[in-house]
């Protein structure tokens, strides 16, 4: 294994996949590092699920290559991956503990280890009392939490989560996020595919957005936000605001005011003007769009 591969939990090189003559993934390339939470985002039909299935070796690319931890697909890569699909599917008639143990055994864990590990994880999320219940007796959210725990039972080095927070109440969302952060600290690479942009902003180190099967955004969150930063500043103040030169308009957003610059005026010019006014400035910052705003802008403009 070369040093370059050792740095990557996932390496996708010029991957293309077509169905019925239509390219669903088109010459896509990206890498995921160990100890990284990586956001895979895009509109419905963008090719995200197809890309995940290729990483899982469920389907093969028509061209290009996918490597997992430096190995080509099929070289024992499935056992190092934990996958939580959007479509859930546990054995509903089995007891929680038995279902978790059985699915973990398919990843190579022995029976003694599976029981101990299942009890440890159920204890962590406060579900130890439910270990002997049938899966069908659980609420939808509890069943989903059990499926997530089953996904991490065998301590996968790569974790792929597809809409993991759907159907969970806020308490369990935070609990799952804590576990995800802990897994990252333990060295696992985590791919998060979701439409919840606020969760991507909170959790992810880097993001890949695909649209029409192609890469349209790729990089660190701070870098992406800086790239889409608008020519406006956010102002929160007390007192009577006088005339400000060098702006083309304003937008009131609750307690703060957005000043849209005219393209010739810098934020420092605005701040200097404010210093000469009889107001108290409690907040002054360059406006940075949310990932949700960037997502909508990219999809709308086809950037």
- Which residues in the chain land under pLDDT 70? 1-6, 75, 302-303
The pLDDT assigned to 302 comes to 67
Residue 135 shares a structural domain with residue 221: yes
292 occurs within a structural domain: no
101 occurs within a structural domain: yes
> Which whole-number Å values give the CA distances from 78 to 5, 149, 153, 263, in the listed order?
17, 17, 14, 52
Residue 57 shares a structural domain with residue 32: yes
The pLDDT assigned to 25 comes to 96
Residue 132 shares a structural domain with residue 65: yes
Residue 72 shares a structural domain with residue 116: yes
300 occurs within a structural domain: no
297 occurs within a structural domain: no
Q: Could you identify the residue written with the tokens 């100890």? A: 35
Last residue of some domain: 225, 241, 266?
225
Residue 201 shares a structural domain with residue 263: no
The pLDDT assigned to 2 comes to 44
Number of domains comprising the chain: 2
Q: Where are the beta strands (DSSP E) in the chain?
A: 10-19, 22-32, 37-41, 63-68, 71-72, 81-84, 158-162, 189-193, 206-211, 214-220, 232-239, 247-253, 256-261, 279-286
88 occurs within a structural domain: yes
Residue 112 shares a structural domain with residue 18: yes
Residue 144 shares a structural domain with residue 41: yes
Q: Is residue 16 a contact partner of residue 215, using CB atoms and an 8 Å limit?
A: no
Residue 205 shares a structural domain with residue 248: no
Residue 245 shares a structural domain with residue 124: no
Token readout for 12 is 């996708």
Residue 19 shares a structural domain with residue 156: yes
296 occurs within a structural domain: no
The pLDDT assigned to 3 comes to 44
Residues 6+ apart with CB under 8 A from 162: 49, 52, 83, 84, 85, 86, 193, 194
The pLDDT assigned to 78 comes to 83
Residue 90 shares a structural domain with residue 112: yes
Last residue of some domain: 225, 240, 259?
225
Question: In this structure, what CATH number is given to the domain that contains residue 205?
Answer: 3.40.50.300
The DSSP line for 105-141 is: HTTT--HHHHHHHHHHHHHHTT-GGGTTSBGGGS-HH
Last residue of some domain: 225, 250, 265?
225
Domain that holds residue 191: 3-225
How far is it between the farthest Cα atoms of the chain?
74
Residue 89 shares a structural domain with residue 176: yes
State the pTM of this model.
Answer: 0.85
């Amino acid at each position: 294994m070369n040093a370059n591969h050792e740095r990557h939990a996932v390496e996708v090189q010029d991957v293309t996949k077509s169905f019925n003559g239509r390219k669903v993934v088109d010459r896509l390339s990206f890498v995921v590092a160990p100890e990284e939470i990586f956001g895979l985002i895009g509109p419905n039909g963008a090719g995200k699920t197809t890309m995940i299935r290729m990483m899982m070796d469920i389907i093969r690319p028509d061209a290009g290559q996918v490597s997992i931890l430096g190995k080509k697909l099929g070289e024992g890569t499935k056992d190092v991956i934990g996958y939580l699909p959007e479509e859930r599917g546990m054995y509903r008639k089995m007891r929680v503990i038995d279902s978790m143990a059985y699915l973990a055994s398919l990843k190579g864990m022995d029976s003694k280890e599976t029981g101990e590990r299942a009890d440890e994880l159920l204890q962590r999320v406060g579900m130890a009392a439910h270990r002997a219940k049938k899966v069908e007796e659980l609420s939808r959210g509890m069943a989903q939490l059990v499926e997530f725990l089953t996904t991490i039972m065998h301590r996968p080095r790569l974790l792929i989560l597809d809409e993991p927070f759907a159907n969970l109440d806020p308490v369990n969302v935070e609990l799952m996020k804590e576990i995800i952060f802990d897994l990252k600290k333990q060295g696992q690479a985590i791919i998060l595919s979701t439409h919840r942009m606020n969760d991507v902003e909170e959790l992810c180190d880097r993001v890949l957005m695909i649209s029409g099967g192609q890469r349209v955004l790729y990089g660190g969150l701070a870098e992406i936000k800086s790239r889409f930063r608008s020519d406006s500043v956010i102002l929160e103040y007390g007192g009577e605001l006088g005339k400000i030169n060098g702006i083309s308009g304003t937008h009131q957003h609750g307690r703060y005011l957005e000043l849209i610059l005219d393209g010739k005026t810098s934020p420092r010019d605005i701040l200097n003007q404010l210093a000469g006014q009889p107001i108290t400035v409690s907040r002054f910052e360059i406006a940075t769009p949310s990932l949700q705003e960037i997502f909508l802008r990219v999809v709308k403009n086809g950037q």
